[in-house]
Amino acid sequence: MILGETAGARRFRSMDAYARFTSTAPIPVWSGSSSGRVRLNRGGNRTVNTALHMIAVTQARGVGPGKDYIDKLLARGKTRTEAIRLVRRRLSDVVFTALCADDHAHAERPSQAPASGCQLAA
Protein backbone atom coordinates (compact mmCIF):
# COMPACT_ATOMS: atom_id res chain seq x y z
CA MET A 1 0.00 0.00 0.00
CA ILE A 2 2.79 2.42 0.89
CA LEU A 3 4.61 2.08 -2.42
CA GLY A 4 1.46 2.39 -4.49
CA GLU A 5 0.09 5.41 -2.66
CA THR A 6 3.41 7.28 -2.41
CA ALA A 7 4.26 7.05 -6.12
CA GLY A 8 7.92 7.88 -5.64
CA ALA A 9 9.80 9.84 -3.00
CA ARG A 10 10.95 12.45 -5.51
CA ARG A 11 7.57 14.16 -5.17
CA PHE A 12 8.44 15.34 -1.66
CA ARG A 13 10.94 18.08 -0.86
CA SER A 14 11.79 16.76 2.60
CA MET A 15 11.10 14.14 5.22
CA ASP A 16 8.72 16.59 6.88
CA ALA A 17 6.73 17.03 3.67
CA TYR A 18 6.40 13.25 3.44
CA ALA A 19 5.24 13.14 7.08
CA ARG A 20 2.56 15.68 6.27
CA PHE A 21 1.49 13.56 3.29
CA THR A 22 1.22 10.48 5.51
CA SER A 23 -0.69 12.37 8.25
CA THR A 24 2.06 11.70 10.79
CA ALA A 25 3.20 15.31 11.16
CA PRO A 26 1.95 16.66 14.49
CA ILE A 27 -0.48 19.56 14.62
CA PRO A 28 0.10 21.73 17.71
CA VAL A 29 -2.79 22.64 19.99
CA TRP A 30 -2.37 26.30 20.95
CA SER A 31 -5.51 27.15 22.88
CA GLY A 32 -5.96 26.74 26.61
CA SER A 33 -3.45 25.42 29.06
CA SER A 34 -2.47 22.44 26.91
CA SER A 35 0.71 23.97 25.49
CA GLY A 36 3.10 21.40 24.13
CA ARG A 37 0.29 19.08 23.13
CA VAL A 38 -0.38 17.92 19.60
CA ARG A 39 -3.45 16.49 17.99
CA LEU A 40 -4.16 13.95 15.28
CA ASN A 41 -3.69 15.13 11.72
CA ARG A 42 -6.82 14.05 9.86
CA GLY A 43 -5.54 15.30 6.51
CA GLY A 44 -3.12 13.65 4.15
CA ASN A 45 -3.24 10.14 2.80
CA ARG A 46 -5.18 7.98 5.23
CA THR A 47 -4.29 4.75 3.41
CA VAL A 48 -0.56 5.22 4.05
CA ASN A 49 -1.32 6.32 7.61
CA THR A 50 -3.30 3.11 8.15
CA ALA A 51 -0.39 1.02 6.88
CA LEU A 52 2.04 2.86 9.17
CA HIS A 53 -0.37 2.39 12.08
CA MET A 54 -0.55 -1.36 11.45
CA ILE A 55 3.26 -1.51 11.50
CA ALA A 56 3.40 0.57 14.70
CA VAL A 57 0.84 -1.58 16.51
CA THR A 58 2.66 -4.75 15.44
CA GLN A 59 5.96 -3.35 16.72
CA ALA A 60 4.27 -2.28 19.98
CA ARG A 61 3.42 -5.93 20.60
CA GLY A 62 7.11 -6.76 20.52
CA VAL A 63 7.63 -7.69 16.87
CA GLY A 64 10.28 -5.17 15.85
CA PRO A 65 12.36 -2.30 17.18
CA GLY A 66 9.36 -0.18 18.20
CA LYS A 67 8.74 -2.02 21.48
CA ASP A 68 11.77 -0.57 23.26
CA TYR A 69 11.00 2.92 21.99
CA ILE A 70 7.39 2.69 23.20
CA ASP A 71 8.52 1.44 26.61
CA LYS A 72 10.91 4.40 26.86
CA LEU A 73 8.14 6.84 25.92
CA LEU A 74 5.74 5.32 28.44
CA ALA A 75 8.40 5.63 31.14
CA ARG A 76 8.70 9.35 30.30
CA GLY A 77 4.98 9.80 30.99
CA LYS A 78 3.52 9.67 27.48
CA THR A 79 0.21 7.91 27.00
CA ARG A 80 0.03 4.81 24.84
CA THR A 81 -1.79 6.79 22.13
CA GLU A 82 0.94 9.43 22.08
CA ALA A 83 3.61 6.72 21.98
CA ILE A 84 1.97 5.00 18.99
CA ARG A 85 1.69 8.37 17.24
CA LEU A 86 5.42 9.02 17.78
CA VAL A 87 6.29 5.54 16.49
CA ARG A 88 4.22 6.21 13.37
CA ARG A 89 6.19 9.41 12.75
CA ARG A 90 9.47 7.57 13.20
CA LEU A 91 8.28 4.85 10.81
CA SER A 92 7.32 7.54 8.28
CA ASP A 93 10.90 8.84 8.41
CA VAL A 94 12.29 5.32 7.96
CA VAL A 95 9.99 4.65 4.99
CA PHE A 96 10.95 7.96 3.35
CA THR A 97 14.66 7.19 3.78
CA ALA A 98 14.15 3.73 2.25
CA LEU A 99 12.17 5.16 -0.67
CA CYS A 100 14.90 7.73 -1.31
CA ALA A 101 17.58 5.05 -1.20
CA ASP A 102 15.57 2.98 -3.67
CA ASP A 103 15.11 5.98 -5.98
CA HIS A 104 18.82 6.71 -5.77
CA ALA A 105 19.77 3.10 -6.54
CA HIS A 106 17.39 2.82 -9.48
CA ALA A 107 18.01 6.18 -11.14
CA GLU A 108 18.07 5.37 -14.85
CA ARG A 109 20.01 8.42 -15.96
CA PRO A 110 22.45 10.68 -14.15
CA SER A 111 20.25 13.64 -15.11
CA GLN A 112 17.51 12.19 -12.88
CA ALA A 113 19.13 13.23 -9.63
CA PRO A 114 16.94 12.74 -6.58
CA ALA A 115 15.01 15.73 -5.32
CA SER A 116 16.47 17.88 -2.55
CA GLY A 117 14.61 15.86 0.09
CA CYS A 118 16.19 12.65 -1.18
CA GLN A 119 19.83 13.63 -0.80
CA LEU A 120 21.58 10.66 0.74
CA ALA A 121 24.69 11.05 2.84
CA ALA A 122 27.76 9.90 0.93
Reported pTM: 0.80
Displacement of CA 98 from its chain's centroid (Å) = 11
pLDDT > 90 fraction of the chain, expressed in percent and rounded? 40
Which tens digit of pLDDT belongs to each residue from 27-60?
877 766 656 677 777 788 889 999 999 999 999 9
pLDDT averaged over the chain?
A: 83
Over residues 95-111, the mean pLDDT reads: 79
